[in-house]
Structure 1
Amino acid sequence: MTSQRTSSRGSRGRRALWPVVPLAVSLAAVGLGVAQAAPADPVPVTGVRAVTCVDRVFAGMTGPQRVGQLFMGGVNASLPDQKRLQVLRQYHVGSVFLAGRSKSGTRATKSLADGLQAKADTVAGHRVGLLVSTDQEGGQVQVLSGPGFSTIPSGLVQGSWSTSKLRSSAALWAKQLKAAGVNLNLAPVTDVVPSSLGRDNAPIGRYDREYGHTATTVASHSGAFAAGFAQSKVLATLKHFPGLGYVRGNTDTTANVVDSVTTGSSASITPFRSGIKAGAPFVMISLATYSRIDAKHRAVFSSTVIQKLLRTSLGFRGVVVSDDLGNAVAVRSVLPADRALAFLNAGGDQILTVEPNLIPAMAKAVQARMTQNPAFRLKVDQSIHRILAAKQKAGLLYCG
């Protein structure tokens, strides 16, 4: 995520052939997005692998509950809007993003998070917990502050530290988030901003969000940050794949942002590659277009970027989350429903929208496409399994 949005707004597993459990979505569910379809019976798995906790939770869900897992909706961290919260509940949204700025401290944030968790959906009498995320990078991008939260320095300052100091500091920052009820951080920034561009790079360099100006420094320090979070059992996110370091425009505020430098084998991909090898559970996809990778599609809508480069070439098996598909100017020309469909069809898993009021149109489109297209439904089923697996890692699923 970029700083503009913030100021206004499971470990890697082996690839598995998920059992296809049909979504029992009624016509009413397609039309309204809120119908409580009956849970589908799980398909027996023979000769592949044992049925897992994730499979059981998935099988017990209604169609709308499953679709809701695909979304991460924005919640103002200091003053939540009740009408928007109702949209999140109505559409069974499985993850939230604490946006904006809050100086209320850990206790008040925990109260907010607990209130959100109390309204999360239940399956077979057990609550399926929410992923509660935020942007807690440091410097000018720190959503949560106040009593109980450290003042985190900028990425550039963190990049000047030893990796051992950064790891231990990140472990402390993660403990603070955990105490506040946050279980997922949309950080670390894994973008390499060349020194020749520096602060002329609007999304990252202008705000000192990068760890350094070489792939080596960014790889070592984003890795140390992520390792500290893993130590404290808070999920981390590598962003913004395949990198925002070589652009000038900020995708939050600018249309048609293009990177004409990065290729699939560029050195700036190295920090993502090393983070994935270390077991990063989430990767966020950029909204820019990479003309030397896929000139015809924004990265977030590109199967070349997500499937070929991230999944196949780099071997990522975790959750692919979008950058903001709600308010960002980069996608304003695309209808909200088409944003959701294009991202999922390209291989993405979790749709982040800082504006929850777009979720109804998105969810209805996804439900309709799933009933019409078995191949799309299979992709979505796999995405939901990945998200549920991340929730299991975060202790959010009942597996008794």
Structure 2
Amino acid sequence: MKRSLAAVLVLTGLLSACTTTDDQPTAAPPSSAAPPSSAEPPPSAEPSLSSAPPPPADCVTTTLDGLNQAERVGQLLMIGVSVNAPSGAGDTLRRYHVGGTFLRGRSTHSAARLKSGIAALQKNAALPMLVAVDQEGGSVQTLKGPDFPRLPSAFRLGAGPAPALRDTTRGSARRLAAIGVNLNLAPVADTVPASIGEANPPIGAFHRQFGSDPARVSAAIRTVVPTSQEAGVLTTLKHFPGLGRVRVNTDVSTGATDNTATVNDPYLAPFKAGIEAGTAAVMISSARYPKIDTDALAAFSRPVITGLLRDKIGFDGLVISDDLGAARAVTGVVPAQRATRFVSAGGDMVLTIVPSDAAPMAAALIDKAESDPAFRARVDDAARHVLQAKQKAGLLRCG
């Protein structure tokens, strides 16, 4: 802590005074000493620390402090709404204080029509919501109307020059930002080995990967993340810790397993590259990784989310689940437990494309927070991560 000159002078005087006691009086100066020419006024004392006003709270803390338990839990939910009729979920968004929406399906609507629908959707929220889409390119492109040109696949873009990837990313992000989308559930950071290729159902079969070499994928991720976020759309690296080696699609089947991945897997490099580039979010897969956690799916795994992603790699941003609503991989767990298990493992935002999941998920999160102080603190931490992402997107307004 820095002290002012006045405080230093006061402290110096006090130290000098402490060298004199009643038993050892200070000797009088010799008669030959010249008298002081003038008397300096004593320095004014600064106010004590206890009387100084506290520093202003940051906007995230101020916002979080203003939320009750139900509202904090609501921030942890991202609910799927129809991209062509988003206002149909308005009651659910209001009732459960939902923090984010995912525009599901495919749309050929104009930018003006989509912008109007998203604006109406935001009016249902007490706090502005994260509005997400899957706008990867290739086979996975939510918006395909006249104002949204078809995007090449990641595989094609990854094989081309970096300037082309940068220009494509920037143009797409600007179009999304212009209609009110602030979060893209992309880019795919999974690496699919050439030896597997299209035999990898969730990624390789659709050419969603930037390549078969993690170094090439890392280079693409380093381009995409800052380019998109500088254009106004936050990025989400997916599907941590990687879906490139599984032989089952978690959306439609159970049993997706990567028996190779470890905490030192070279295929983690693209995720690390995106985190270093400042990505706002990381999405967790619903596959199994036995060499990291022998017991749980990644979405419910503390060793994967907290141990690897948070502690070892050091990611401190928003952790989103892959779909925990309709995905076949999680059907063995009831919706309420899907939410509590994901958050307990270290996740922040529960994504479900099933709007009716909001009720049991919110109720379970509230009940557990009210009965378990450690979980309540985890909810607060997760809500803070959501609000920090919103601040990064320019959605929070304080003062």
Q: TM-score, normalised by structure 1?
A: 0.85
Q: Deviations 1:158-178 (Å, cap 9, x if unpaired)?
A: 111212221122011100001
**Quick check: 1:169–1:228 contact (8 Å CA) kept in 2?**
no
The aligned counterpart of 2:67 is: 61
1:334 is the counterpart of 2:336: no
1:311 match: secondary structure = helix
* Matching of residues 121-132 of structure 1 within 5 Å: 121=126, 128-132=127-131
**Quick check: 2:151–2:168 contact (8 Å CA) kept in 1?**
no
- Runs of 4+ deviating beyond 4 Å: none
**Quick check: 1:191–1:210 contact (8 Å CA) kept in 2?**
yes
Q: Deviations 1:326-362 (Å, cap 9, x if unpaired)?
A: 0000000101111001000000000000001011001
- Distance in 1 (CA, whole Å) between partners of 2:351 and 2:337 is 14
| Partner of residue 93 from structure 2, selected from 88, 97, 115 | 88
- Distance in 2 (CA, whole Å) between partners of 1:102 and 1:180 is 13
2:234 match: secondary structure = coil
- Distance in 1 (CA, whole Å) between partners of 2:265 and 2:69 is 41
**Quick check: 1:193–1:204 contact (8 Å CA) kept in 2?**
yes
The aligned counterpart of 2:398 is: 399
Shift of 1:81: 6.9
| Partner of residue 113 from structure 1, selected from 118, 131, 137 | 118
**Quick check: 1:135–1:142 contact (8 Å CA) kept in 2?**
yes
- Distance in 1 (CA, whole Å) between partners of 2:85 and 2:95 is 20
2:336 match: secondary structure = helix
**Quick check: 2:79–2:98 contact (8 Å CA) kept in 1?**
yes
Deviates more, 1:208-217 or 1:159-168: 159-168
* Matching of residues 1-400 of structure 1 within 5 Å: 51-80=57-86, 82=88, 84-121=89-126, 128-400=127-399
Structure 1: which 5+ residue stretches go unaligned? 1-45, 122-127
C-alpha RMSD of the superposition: 1.6
- Distance in 2 (CA, whole Å) between partners of 1:102 and 1:74 is 14
The aligned counterpart of 2:23 is: none
1:112 match: secondary structure = helix
Supply the AA of the counterpart residue of 1:250: N
- Distance in 2 (CA, whole Å) between partners of 1:239 and 1:50 is 36
2:286 match: secondary structure = coil
- Distance in 2 (CA, whole Å) between partners of 1:180 and 1:190 is 26
Shift of 1:277: 1.1
1:304 match: secondary structure = helix
2:149 match: secondary structure = coil
Supply the AA of the counterpart residue of 1:105: S
Structure 2: which 5+ residue stretches go unaligned? 1-51
The aligned counterpart of 1:3 is: none
Shift of 1:109: 1.1
Q: Give the direction of change, closer, same or farther, for the CA distance of 1:255–1:49 in structure 2 (3 Å limit).
A: farther
- Distance in 2 (CA, whole Å) between partners of 1:225 and 1:346 is 28
- Distance in 2 (CA, whole Å) between partners of 1:386 and 1:275 is 17
**Quick check: 1:105–1:144 contact (8 Å CA) kept in 2?**
no
Shift of 1:79: 3.1
**Quick check: 2:80–2:352 contact (8 Å CA) kept in 1?**
yes
Shift of 1:92: 1.0
- Distance in 2 (CA, whole Å) between partners of 1:371 and 1:234 is 35
Q: Deviations 1:136-180 (Å, cap 9, x if unpaired)?
A: 000010001212212101111111121222112201110000111
Supply the AA of the counterpart residue of 2:85: L
2:348 match: secondary structure = coil
- Distance in 1 (CA, whole Å) between partners of 2:58 and 2:265 is 38
Q: Deviations 1:283-337 (Å, cap 9, x if unpaired)?
A: 0000000011112110010010011100011110000000000000000010111
The aligned counterpart of 1:37 is: none
Shift of 1:49: 7.9
Supply the AA of the counterpart residue of 2:216: T
Q: Deviations 1:216-249 (Å, cap 9, x if unpaired)?
A: 1111112211121022021000000000000010
**Quick check: 1:69–1:94 contact (8 Å CA) kept in 2?**
yes
Identical pairs, percent: 45
- Distance in 1 (CA, whole Å) between partners of 2:140 and 2:200 is 16
Shift of 1:50: 5.5
- Distance in 2 (CA, whole Å) between partners of 1:148 and 1:100 is 17
- Distance in 2 (CA, whole Å) between partners of 1:88 and 1:288 is 29
Deviates more, 1:185-194 or 1:216-225: 216-225
Supply the AA of the counterpart residue of 2:239: H
- Find the structure with the greater CA-based Rg: 2
